[in-house]
């Protein structure tokens, strides 16, 4: 990558302020001094960035740096007005791609919709397409665990380039509000963007200061899309439509939409009809949770746009099962459901599905709330537990730097507006064990918030955790003994 091309790209996006003339060529770019090699263009990034990091990068081979500040060091500088935007556009320049990009945003359902699309495309294309999902990515050359729903821009573009080099033509990804806020997808364009829903979430000093900021970040993603698929019954539908009025728009929902869902029924999973124009087809998914019909329908609309056959759509839908999302274990005592539901929208959808699918059972729920983010969830999750659950086991869910008891006491304030059927068991494994050993055939147990996550954020550290799924299996074996 040539220095003058970097300057031209930064000018194109109106990011450049000034620069030192040089004839440098770069064989590497990095924002981590530990990843610097010879002839690296180093991007200074982060509120905690120190001059020491830049000097370390220079000692390892950095030959130019990009920053909002002149650090007065020995190598040429490029001064910009936004380091994160600069990182995104330089990463795209260094790691170009020509992929067909499908993005999904929403407060809930992004991961499941992503996997529905991914599996449908796998049958359509005859190979595994690229994917960025919560906790997982596949680039053709690499696959593994994601630590961010949407990766940092440098890693994102690196893996997009790997997909292209591997012969992959299509990729799907989740576009989080944080990705927009922190410019991880700045400068990108998507062929298709899916908008599932929105409700207040990630409201905290470390994330979004208020709902308006959160919503605007969701809407910002849609501005990057050529065609937009929208769930007709989402909150703030008018705001969404106003944002995309110059795009190609396709809607789906229960009525008054381009694709209309009807006749949802339990059938070894769920079956449902979709009507588009004068054509009605039946579809099935193996996943539980009626809200997953909405996610599946969004995937069907994407598949229709790409000319996927009905047969391949069916195959992709039926084989989709996402670990930690509506995993149902029929224990012999009572059904136990593990789901990642961790905010108002996802938890309400789950409770409503439980009420419809298990009308004669008492709902017992195990959950907590994070300590360092999403503070609004304590109110929302507590209120919903009061309204829908017959009994509540409050416990740890990534307490971070906070005390579990303090978090639980915040939640209790809202549960008590409806009932006093709760107890606090700080250790999550013990709480799950207590719920299972207390259970009868008249109950259904729901474990919310962690899904298949194998860690807990405690005292500021990521500590190993067996996952809710493994804990349930372990406790059910004890009951059988």
pLDDT, tens digit (0-9, with 9 covering 90-100), for 331-348? 788 999 999 888 888 899
| 466 DSSP β-pair partners | none
Rounded to an integer, the average pLDDT of 308-323 is 94
Tell me which of 275, 290, 319 is where a domain ends: 319
Phi then psi for 376, rounded to 5 degrees?
-60, -20
Predicted local confidence at residue 178, as pLDDT: 84
Whether 321 has a pLDDT exceeding 90, the answer reads no
Predicted local confidence at residue 147, as pLDDT: 66
Tell me which of 93, 120, 142 is where a domain ends: 93
Phi then psi for 188, rounded to 5 degrees?
-85, 155
Predicted local confidence at residue 260, as pLDDT: 98
pLDDT, tens digit (0-9, with 9 covering 90-100), for 105-117? 998 889 999 999 9
Question: What is the tally of structural domains in the chain?
Answer: 3
CATH of the domain at 455: 3.90.190.20
- Mean pLDDT computed over every residue of the chain: 93
Predicted local confidence at residue 202, as pLDDT: 63
Task: Residue 130: name the closest of 142, 117, 139, 120 by CA.
Answer: 139
Tell me which of 285, 319, 353 is where a domain ends: 319
Q: Are residues 242 and 124 in the same domain?
A: yes
Measure the CA–CA gap between 127 and 31, rounded to whole angstroms.
Answer: 33
Rounded to an integer, the average pLDDT of 451-480 is 89
Predicted local confidence at residue 266, as pLDDT: 85
Q: Are residues 311 and 335 in the same domain?
A: no
Q: Are residues 358 and 394 in the same domain?
A: yes
pTM as predicted: 0.82
Query: Of 53-67, 176-190, 347-361, where does the model show the most confidence?
Result: 53-67
CATH of the domain at 77: 3.40.1390.10
Rounded to an integer, the average pLDDT of 91-100 is 97
Which of 139-143, 162-166, 477-481 shows the lowest per-residue confidence on average (mean pLDDT)?
477-481
Whether 481 has a pLDDT exceeding 60, the answer reads no
Q: Are residues 308 and 336 in the same domain?
A: no
Task: Residue 446: name the closest of 344, 342, 305, 374 by CA.
Answer: 342
Where in the sequence is the domain holding 71, given as residue range(s)?
A: 3-93
Using alpha carbons, list the distances in angstroms from residue 273 to 57, 234, 296, 315, 411. 58, 20, 11, 16, 39
Query: Of 54-58, 176-180, 354-358, where does the model show the most confidence?
Result: 54-58
201 alpha carbon, distance to own chain's centre = 12
Predicted local confidence at residue 134, as pLDDT: 82
What b/e sequence results for 364-384 when a residue is b if at least 16 CB atoms lie within 10 Å of its CB, and e otherwise?
bbbbbbbbbbbbbbbbbbbbb
Q: Are residues 401 and 315 in the same domain?
A: no
pLDDT, tens digit (0-9, with 9 covering 90-100), for 206-252? 777 788 888 998 999 999 999 999 999 999 999 999 999 999 999 99
417 alpha carbon, distance to own chain's centre = 32
CATH of the domain at 250: 3.40.1190.10
């Amino acid at each position: 990558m040539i220095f003058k091309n970097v300057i031209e790209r930064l000018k194109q996006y109106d990011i450049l302020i000034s620069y030192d003339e040089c004839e440098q060529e770069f064989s590497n770019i990095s924002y981590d001094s530990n990843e610097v090699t010879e002839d690296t263009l180093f991007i200074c990034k982060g509120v905690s960035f120190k001059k020491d990091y830049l000097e370390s990068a220079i000692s390892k081979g950095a030959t130019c740096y990009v920053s909002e500040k002149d650090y007065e060091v020995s190598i040429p500088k490029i001064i910009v007005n936004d380091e994160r935007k600069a990182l995104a556009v330089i990463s795209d320049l260094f790691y170009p791609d020509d992929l067909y990009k499908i993005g999904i945003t929403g407060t809930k359902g992004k991961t499941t919709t992503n996997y529905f699309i991914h599996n449908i495309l796998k049958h359509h294309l005859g190979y595994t397409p690229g994917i960025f999902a919560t906790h997982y990515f596949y680039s053709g050359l690499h696959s593994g665990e994601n630590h961010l729903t949407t990766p940092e821009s440098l890693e994102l573009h690196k893996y997009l380039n790997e997909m292209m080099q591997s012969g992959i033509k299509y990729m799907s990804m989740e576009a989080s509000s944080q990705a927009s806020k922190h410019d991880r997808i700045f400068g990108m364009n998507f062929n298709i963007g899916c908008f599932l829903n929105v409700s207040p979430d990630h409201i905290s000093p470390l994330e979004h200061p208020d709902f308006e900021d959160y919503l605007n970040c969701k809407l910002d993603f849609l501005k990057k899309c050529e065609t937009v698929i929208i769930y007709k019954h989402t909150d703030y539908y008018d705001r969404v439509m106003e944002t995309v009025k110059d795009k190609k728009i396709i809607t789906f929902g229960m009525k008054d939409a381009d694709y209309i869902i009807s006749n949802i029924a339990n059938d070894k999973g769920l079956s449902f009809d979709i009507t588009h124009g004068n054509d009605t087809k039946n579809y099935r998914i193996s996943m539980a949770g009626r809200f997953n019909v909405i996610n599946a329908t969004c995937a069907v609309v994407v598949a229709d746009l790409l000319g996927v056959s009905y047969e391949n759509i069916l195959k992709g839908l039926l084989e989709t099962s996402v670990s930690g999302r509506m995993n149902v274990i029929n224990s012999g005592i009572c059904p136990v459901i593990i789901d990642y539901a961790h905010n108002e929208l996802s938890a309400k959808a789950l409770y409503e599905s439980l009420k419809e699918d298990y009308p004669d059972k008492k709902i017992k729920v195990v959950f907590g709330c994070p300590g360092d983010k999403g503070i609004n969830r304590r109110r929302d999750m507590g209120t919903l537990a009061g309204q829908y659950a017959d009994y509540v086991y409050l416990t740890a869910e990534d307490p971070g730097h906070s005390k579990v008891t303090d978090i639980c006491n915040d939640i209790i304030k809202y549960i008590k507006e409806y009932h006093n059927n709760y107890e606090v068991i700080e250790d999550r494994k013990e709480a799950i064990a207590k719920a299972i050993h207390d259970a009868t055939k008249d109950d259904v147990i729901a474990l919310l918030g962690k899904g298949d996550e194998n860690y807990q954020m405690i005292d500021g550290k990521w500590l190993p955790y067996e996952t809710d799924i493994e804990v349930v299996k372990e406790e059910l074996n004890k009951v059988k003994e």
